[in-house]
Chain A
Amino acid sequence: MVGIKSYGVYIPYFRLSRAEVAKSWGGYPYPGERAVANYDEDTITMAVAACRDCIRGFDPQEVDSLFLASTTFPYGEKQSSSMVAAAVDLKKDALTLDLSGSLKSGTVGVRLAFDAIRSGSAKSALVSASDMRMGLPSGSKELEFGDGASAFFLGDTEVIATIDSFYTSNEDLFDVFRPVEENYIRSWEDRFCREVGYNRVVLETVTAAAKKFKFTARDFTKAVLYAPNTGYLTGVARMLGFDLKTQVQDSLFNTIGNTGTALSLMMLASALDEAKPGDKILWVGYGDGCDVMVLTVTDEITKIQSRKTVQKHLASKNSLSYPKYLRWRSVIKTEPPMRPRPEPASAVALYRDRKCGMALYGVKCRQCGTVQYPVQRVCMNCLAKDNFEDYRFADRIGRITTFSHDNLAVSPDPPSTIAAVDFEEGGRIMMDVTDRDPAEIKIGMPVEMTFRHIRYVEGIHNYWWKCRPVR
């Protein structure tokens, strides 16, 4: 049976309290907080994190395809899924595809993956959704949106949940939309968006699916329904006949916010964290139409649940001030530092450096066994020339040997914490430390590797790896 083998999420470390934002603008105080990507994160880095979380324990080289969904890809022309594939270290002949435009691109991706596996064109597929949508300051969207990513690994062996049926609809409607030349999401009046958009489309599509597959609300242990906020969710769940107390999966609105394409996958991950073998799940994605899926949880679920990946990410957090949020997302302009302008990248150098840079490969000397980063031609220990095997650092834990908090370095989150990071089986990498509270940094502290956005100069986004305290 084709289904889900594994799942992962990425919720950024920083949270913005909605009450904190309301202090600046007044108005109705929204409850809870929203997740905010660090200044060095974007759709790509969050997708990489979610994919790595998802395929822990699997060999990345076994992944046959990657479908990446987002409405906030960094390039109009240049594929994001191939960038994620490089960082996650997928094989060269993996099929990569970007899915965009609709907030239900994530559920569409799962369907495409399912179809590819069932047709035999792929044995496995990774589906990831990642978004960081922007609302203008002082508006409800800024408060409601959250940043995050999720990923599902599909295959036809050892699945934790089977996908039993699909139904879909498409819809041409101006409810929530963003012209390509704009950065901020627009929407029509909320009453229209809710009544003619969300409620009508979800209701019509689920009703049609129920008719086709002969199910009723009572057949499901959980309804995992994409919803931009709690009000939308409870409204539509009630109309569909679900018991709000027992059957409806939380929308994560109070803890993360609406993560766009990532949300429906993230909610399903949350549901799977708590699911029991035999549970039936109704899964609904929405955006320019609606996707409906029916899943059945298998006995395999117990093997993976100890991860509690959503809970782990929710618990690991730090609060962010509103001005810092505005700076990190370039909503406000800050005075440029009296420092040299960042130099533009060379596409040629990036090409040569792709494995060492994007996938964090170093080398291990075949003659003396010394592990080294970056890639060397001559061994630093025994001077053997060109006698190395590849050695990947990305999934290894390092320890901080020494560090500094640098105020001269240009950073949107000063000071810039920098460290020499040593690895148990050898190797040292000089790295920035991110997602950190400077006061917690100590010599000997364990750190994990995280793929981050380094700079954007003249049209080229550069990415590399940083370390962070283990989450």
Chain B
Amino acid sequence: MESIKDKVAIVGMGCTKFGENWDKSYDDMIIEAVYEAYEDAGMDPRNIQAYWIGSYWSGMPAPSQPLSAILKVGYKPVTRIENMCATASDALRSAAYAVASGVCDIALAIGAEKLKDSGFSGLPTDEIAMGITSTAPNTFRSRNFTAPGHFAMMATSYFNKYGLSPEEGRRMLAKIMVKNHHNGTLSPKAHFQREITIEQVLNAPMIAWPLGLFDCCGVSDGAAAAILVREEKAKSFRKDPVYIKALQIAVGPQEGYMNPRHDWTMVKETYHAGLAAYAEAGVKNPRNDVSMAEVHDCFSITEAVTYEDLQFTRRGGAKEEVDSGTFELTGDLPVNMDGGLKCFGHPIGATGLRMMYEIYKQVQGKAGPRQVKNPGLGLTHNLGGTPGGATVSVCIVGP
């Protein structure tokens, strides 16, 4: 089995401002992200040879054709991709595979989502998001679970396993959210750009016990795009292309819903996707070899558990690392430099490419006040579903 390592390069990226984009349609956001990527790469739109568009709800039921109309792509292949919240990462992976195979030289991967046209708080339909209506045996006899509810169950179990009282556990999680909010203030395209305090987090209204309002990420609109070319052509577009080292995705069999051996204190899919990505990229010691990461902090507990699942620390080690500031912008291994899902926002089908946009800028040294010193390998971790059954993508890129 061959590795994708150093076969494909990203030569242009774009990302809209994330947030409640009342005055921008799904189409508007795609155009903004894609044209920023064209400009970034110095690319004539007519040179793109194939398109992958990732979205979860938007543009349904047939988003491929509208994309051609939006961008006037002109009789080229367009494919719509869905893989839950890891949708954009899978669009990137698919486009990269096409380029690596040699069947096309230049491909465009897009992730876009319009959530705030729905009129709802939270996600448009949790039932679909949670995979309930698609699991035939439970059709329409669903449990009353939401995304926060599912991830809250991981917090309950995690606190219990590692002997943290709910207060201690919630304080650890609050510190992570304070960090991401701080990073968000340095991120002009982020949905939320203000500092918060631990006390604010702890005193906020409860969404799904033990997770409060500030433990949950923003529900946002947004789009992001990446232009991919083969490694040998990359330098003809720019002097600082970013090379793909690993593109892995792991989809779990929903063991957490069925198997008593699954204890809801980790996301197994993250662990497996991480192992595969490290092997593909040749990473021996993730804590030392990865210099920064954008992880899927849909909820505070997800980021805490991800530190462990990606082997940035030992099992149960999240609290001491959080307390010592390991993952802060100035720490050993900065995580969510742009504010993460928490503050940059989470338009479901766009998030994976937004993560990559941040790593891309960091590798190029263009991250402004958020710039990590001596950026080497950067990792994106994009999780869809719930801790009980997830789709997790881990991508590694570098100079």
Contacts and interface: CB of A to CB of B under 8 A. Distances in A.
A339 B258 contact: no
B280 interface: no
- The SS class assigned to the A binding surface is mixed
A454 interface: yes
Interface in A399-423: 401-411, 415-416, 418-420, 422-423
Interface in B104-137: 118-122, 124-127, 133, 135-137
Contacts, number: 154
Contact of A405 (B140, B141, B150, B208): B208
Contacts of B184: none
- Of the candidates B121, B143, B155, B253, the one having the most CB atoms from chain A within 10 angstroms of its own CB is B143
B60 to A, nearest CB: 14
B121 A338 contact: yes
A428 B388 CA distance: 11
Contact of B146 (A406, A427, A428): A406
Contact of A406 (B152, B155, B259): B152
A350 B160 CA distance: 37
A462 B120 CA distance: 24
Contact of A418 (B125, B153, B258, B262): B153
Contact of A402 (B133, B136, B153): B153
B208 A420 contact: no
B162 interface: no
Interface stretch (A44-52, A228-236, A247-255, A371-379): A371-379
A357 interface: yes
A346 B118 CA distance: 24
Interface string A381-406: 00000000000000000000111111
B341 interface: no
A333 to B, nearest CB: 19
A464 B145 CA distance: 14
A462 B140 contact: yes
B156 interface: yes
Interface in B192-219: 205-211
B357 interface: no
A464 B149 contact: no
B136 A430 contact: no
A349 B208 contact: no
B255 interface: yes
A93 interface: no
Given A402-B264, A409-B146, A462-B141, A428 B121 contact: no
Contact of A428 (B207, B208, B259): B259
A294 interface: no
Nearest to B149: A406
B128 to A, nearest CB: 9
A41 to B, nearest CB: 15
Size bin of chain B's contact surface: 35 or more
A112 interface: no
A427 B145 contact: no
A432 interface: yes
Contact of B140 (A338, A346, A356): A346
A427 B258 CA distance: 6
Contacts of A372: 258
A401 B263 CA distance: 7
Given A405-B209, A420-B256, A420-B264, A357 B137 contact: yes
B122 A408 contact: yes
A63 to B, nearest CB: 24
A356 B138 CA distance: 8
A251 B107 CA distance: 78
A422 B209 CA distance: 21
Contacts of A427: 258, 260
B288 interface: no
A357 B141 contact: yes
A415 B144 CA distance: 10
A373 B149 contact: no
Contact of A353 (B138, B148, B211, B259): B138
B324 interface: no
Interface of B: 118-122, 124-127, 133, 135-146, 148-150, 152-157, 160, 205-211, 253, 255-260, 262-264, 388
27 contacts: A338-B121, A339-B121, A340-B120, A349-B136, A349-B140, A353-B137, A356-B138, A357-B137, A372-B258, A374-B138, A380-B253, A380-B259, A401-B264, A402-B154, A402-B160, A404-B208, A408-B149, A408-B207, A408-B208, A418-B145, A418-B149, A420-B153, A420-B388, A423-B260, A432-B144, A454-B142, A463-B141
Given A339-B121, A349-B136, A455-B140, 16 more contacts: A340-B118, A340-B125, A346-B139, A350-B139, A357-B138, A374-B135, A404-B211, A406-B148, A407-B205, A408-B149, A409-B149, A409-B208, A416-B144, A419-B153, A430-B388, A438-B209
